[in-house]
Amino acid sequence: MAEFDSPGGLVEAATQARLAGYRKMDAYSPIPIEELNEALALRRTRLPLLVLVGGILGCAGGFGLASWVSAIAYPMDVGGRPLISWPQFIPVTFETTVLGAALTAFFGMWALNKLPQPYHPVFNVEAFARASTDRFFLVIEATDPRFERDATWRFLENLHPVGVSEVAP
């Protein structure tokens, strides 16, 4: 694990590490850095698709509920008007669409991120406490095919970090 003191340093290091052939790495930062997606070659997230599905389910659910209640469960004939008077179901349908999409966005994001997660090895490194304030970290995992303890250590030291440390599992 290498520690940097600026977002630029981290992005540059991540780019170098990828050019050097490392694949199993992760970067940690106190702020979102869009450029890291590219530097680490992160794939785009599936989240928007899930949210779309959630929204569609909410939409169908809301309209279905309103129609089922009004036409089957509790039909009420008001002046011979149609039981499924759809324009009046739109507000509820809209709200359930929003609710479905929002719940999916929220819970989907945590689920994809595998959070809450009570334990993670990176927290074993003392310096990592500053990852939520002003320090930026690049971690190359031991499972990476190109990982060799000493070579990787030297490689990380060449990236102008503030410090390099080993993460206990």
Amino acid (one-letter) located at 37? N
Residue whose CB is less far from other proteins, 7 or 163: 7
SS3 3: strand
124 binds other proteins (CB under 8 A): no
125 binds other proteins (CB under 8 A): no
Which of 24, 134, 154, 157 forms a contact with other proteins (CB under 8 A)? 134
Which of 1, 2, 27, 140 forms a contact with other proteins (CB under 8 A)? 27
Which of 24, 64, 95, 166 forms a contact with other proteins (CB under 8 A)? 95
Q: Give Cα separations from 2 to 12, 16, 100, 102, 104 (angstroms).
A: 12, 13, 41, 37, 35
Residue whose CB is less far from other proteins, 112 or 142: 112
- Give the chain's length: 169
Which of 79, 80, 118, 145 forms a contact with other proteins (CB under 8 A)? 118
109 binds other proteins (CB under 8 A): yes
Tell me the backbone φ, ψ of residue 106, rounded to 5 degrees: -70, -60
* Residues 29-68 as x/- pattern, contact with other proteins by CB under 8 A: xxxxxxxxxxxx-x--x-xx--x---x------x--xx--
Which of 2, 22, 59, 96 forms a contact with other proteins (CB under 8 A)? 96
Tokens of 18: 């990828």
88 binds other proteins (CB under 8 A): yes
What angle, rounded to 10 degrees, do the helices at 90-112 and 47-68 form? 150
User: What residues are paired with 164 via a beta bridge?
Assistant: 2
127 binds other proteins (CB under 8 A): no
Asked if residues 45 and 91 have their Cβ atoms less than 8 Å apart, the reply is: no
